[in-house]
Amino acid sequence: MVRSFVNFEDLNKDEVLEVIDYAFYLKKNPFSDKSLQNKSIGLIFMKPSTRTRLSFEVGVYQMGGQPIYILGSSTQLSRGEDVKDTARVMSRYLDGIVIRTYSHQEVEDLAKYGSIPVINALTDYQHPCQVLADLMTIKEKFGKLEGLKLAYIGDGNNMANTLLIACAMVGINIAIATPPMYEPNSKALQKALEFAKETNVSIEITNNPQEAVKNADVLYTDVWVSMGQEGEKDKKQVFKGFTIDKNLLKLANKNAIVMHCLPAHKGEEIMEDVFEEFSDVIFEEAENRLHAQKSLMSFLFK
């Protein structure tokens, strides 16, 4: 049976934990898994990328496979070819697809009409590979996931949506603070509430950052203006007061850490002194993209 990772909930809790645990093994033994030997993995990028492209290309190489970078504008997709036709063609050439794009529906259709596994490397709705690495990093720092609290401060974007679902699934309490009208997607919230019934975690959606960070073990943020929203110049004015700074950090637990999925706009969603104080955590988080994604590819592609 072909399985894809389009939405974070495409894996269940046990599978997520299995992928994370194997990622720790691969971090110590980077060339030990050769499950992509003689396999070709298409990496479709409709959006620019640094960490996602590098981590997947290096990961496929380390696992013995052939990474094929495909710039979206160089394909027939950019000229109006149906996604379902592209999916059926690529399924005859490739052993797996990784795609970073704008529309979540595009990834859903690739997985629906193709006959090979598809990994969502970012859409406007979810960023599940990033959150796998985030959970790995949190476990690395605290030795556990269940019972912790994560506070997300900023835009209710794809990161907020995915963190909501993932935290509720694995037993992390979560509070999300956004300006009014910028709350997370209602579909993501509903899915998170379903998981919360099973794991007994608390979910808080608020417009008050100070309230959100109380008793938090992890403070998390992302850019206010995501790729493709550059024209929304007034958005930055709306987000004043939603910056992770020293004063906000003081309201969290004493040993709290700060995380950021990068790139960071210092002085906006996070102050530079806070960023530098937790830079070791943030760049460990970035490195863990490689290990978590290799583990995921081993799970899906072999």
List the catalytic residues: 100, 127, 130, 222, 261, 289
Residue type, 65: G
Do 191 and 9 contact (CB within 8 A), yes or no? yes
What gap in Å lies between CA 85 and CA 203, rounded to an integer?
A: 40
Structure-token pair, residue 122? 């970012």
Among candidates 103, 111, 123, which has minimal Cα distance to 86? 111
List CB contacts of 106: < 8 A, sequence separation 6 or more.
46, 83, 99, 123
What gap in Å lies between CA 112 and CA 129, rounded to an integer?
A: 19
Beta strands in 64-191 (DSSP E): 66-71, 96-100, 118-120, 149-153, 173-177
> How many residues does the structure list for the chain?
302
What gap in Å lies between CA 189 and CA 203, rounded to an integer?
A: 9
What gap in Å lies between CA 266 and CA 166, rounded to an integer?
A: 26
